[in-house]
A and B are shown apart, each in its own frame.
Chain A
Amino acid sequence: MPSYIKLPAYEIIKRIKAQELMAEDYIASLYERIKKVEKDIRAYITLTEDLALKKAREIDKKVKKREKTGRLCGVGIAIKDNICTRGIRTTCASHMLENFVPPYDATVISRIKDEDGVIMGKANMDEFAMGSSTEFSYFGPTHNPWDLERVPGGSSGGSAAAVASGMATLALGSDTGGSIRCPASFCSVVGLKPTYGLVSRFGLIAYANSLEQIGPITKDVRDCALLLSCIASHDPLDNTSVDRPQEDYTKYLIDDIDGMKLGVVKEFFGEGTQDYVEKGVLEAVTNLEELGTDHQEISLKNLQYALPSYYIIAMSEASSNLARYDGLRYGYRIPNKSYDWSTVYSKDRRFGFGFEVKRRIILGTFALSAGYYEEYYLKAQKIRTLIKRDFDIAFKKFDVLIGPTMPILPFKIGEKVQDPLEMYMCDVDSVPANLAGIPSISIPCGFSKGLPIGLQIMAPPFREDLLLRVAFSFQKNFPVSAKLRSYE
């Protein structure tokens, strides 16, 4: 295996631009890698090898002719399969959209194409991004590269597993309640959920619109800053996209956090938190202190209500967002029978959706229905205000807040699928950032029993610079090294 499979994106780009490495050779070797390990990991739903190699050759030509090349010059990127790609089927890991080929690109895909990124394929996920383990995929689960019997986290499990196992150099995920950070933590890679409104949602197949963002999943913090710089831009097609000047986030990669104030969130070390995780994260806090930061514990009282509020809001919005899948205009339709339209819809949706999706639609429908709206949806949105206020107060005192990304280590495939509530509990530390709309990053901070632990850092809205600076300093001074068995 050529050594550049292991390299981060910025190294690859440097070499391609310097003509030390042909984009075509590099992309071909990524597919070689896929041929070797994908059968065990199952990170992809769809591979686009021909398209990728063609694009790589175009880039090589551009480089040779000394034409201007983009910031992602030739880098292989895995795209979560809920991000629409023109002409490439986009399934959302659902039987419902198994053959759906969008006639449009998501705005982030246009950005990546403009920057000369190379799409490797569409990554596996929990169906419609509903899950924390990538087990709820119509195409079967993805396996954690660190331990094939365990889950890679979710819902962007395919994206994280692809990056962790060298089947892609970069990846895009989406994060509604932790779906980027959870798999980043479980697969020992970097995952960032941007501030709500920083990255366009146009072309992201909606699960819960008011919570989700597309974000990078990468090998290290530098790559994360690079990919974020490429995808963060104002989009007139998205009402909730904020019109701010374009930023180059790589300029915040500064190894200096001396004097920064860190708040260690008490609620992130609640009763469901495993000791290994707690220990790993507290060690990271000590490490950060060595870099000159101050830390203090802080309690955000309303965080105890974050998880139920999150699920109520997400399910309610999902019940409406997913109503469009009826098999009429696109998507799965039962073989022609003489049923009336309502029956056909009910059957299309019965067979087109998986259990978890159906559970969430039914609960969301219930939470919005007459007589329950105030009790559930409205109440949850009010609690969201309280949680936002808690964060506002905390950020008056601290530059960033930290805690574990996940309360537990990666669990075994099948361990939690029977008990939805237990699965939901995994998201307890990740959902607050979505409810408050603030940016949050997960970076590897160690291993326990051979399994990765992720450190979560949160900052005020649009302060991705702070996240990247802390994460970069930590990673530079305390690199987490472990050997991925499947690499060798």
Chain B
Amino acid sequence: MVERKKAISKEQIESIAWLARIEISKKELELFSRQLNDILFYFSKIDEVNTKSIPPSYHVLDLVNVLRKDEVKPSLSEDISQIAPQTKGKFVKAPRMA
């Protein structure tokens, strides 16, 4: 039996879900716990590779310095109330903070 060293605990899943702002039910937690551990176990295959001196490929292209001029273009002509689900006057209405 292979040791599953990278298991993610239910507590960890709960705190990660909070970090990602996704509420999960008890049932989902059970399901995710099983599935995510299977997936993470599969991911652990990459541990085999020695990548010590290998640079990461954050960008596959060699492009650099893509810039634009500091010139104003028109902003959105739509009123915010046509876009946001809840508004108050010209403000976007968000829930309370505290």
Contacts and interface: CB of A to CB of B under 8 A. Distances in A.
Direct contact between A and B judged by beta carbons closer than 8 A:
yes
Interface string B1-23: 00000001000110011111111
B72 interface: no
Contact of B83 (A103, A304, A353): A103
A196 B58 CA distance: 13
A358 B42 contact: no
**Which secondary structure dominates where chain A touches chain B?**
helix
A344 to B, nearest CB: 4
A239 interface: yes
B20 A361 contact: yes
Given A308-B42, A359-B32, A378-B56, A365 B95 contact: no
Contacts of B19: 365, 369
Contact of B56 (A365, A382, A421, A424): A382
Chain B interface bracket (under 10, 10 to 19, 20 to 34, 35 or more): 35 or more
B39 A346 contact: no
Chain A interface bracket (under 10, 10 to 19, 20 to 34, 35 or more): 35 or more
Interface stretch (A51-59, A63-71, A322-330): A322-330
B43 A312 contact: yes
B53 to A, nearest CB: 9
Interface string B65-98: 0101000000010100001111000001011111
B61 A330 contact: no
B76 A103 contact: yes
Contact of B49 (A365, A366, A386): A386
B35 A383 contact: no
B87 to A, nearest CB: 10
Contacts of A29: none
Contact of A210 (B17, B18, B59, B86): B59
B54 A386 contact: yes
Contacts of A346: 18, 21-23
B51 to A, nearest CB: 4
Interface string A356-369: 00110111011001
Given A305-B45, A308-B43, A309-B46, 4 more contacts: A242-B61, A333-B85, A363-B39, A382-B57
14 contacts: A103-B78, A197-B60, A308-B43, A311-B43, A327-B85, A341-B97, A347-B23, A349-B20, A350-B23, A358-B22, A358-B24, A382-B57, A384-B56, A420-B39
Interface of A: 103, 196-197, 210, 236, 239-240, 242, 302, 304-305, 308-309, 311-312, 319, 323, 326-333, 336, 338-347, 349-350, 353, 355, 358-359, 361-363, 365-366, 369, 376, 378-386, 388, 420-421, 424, 436-437
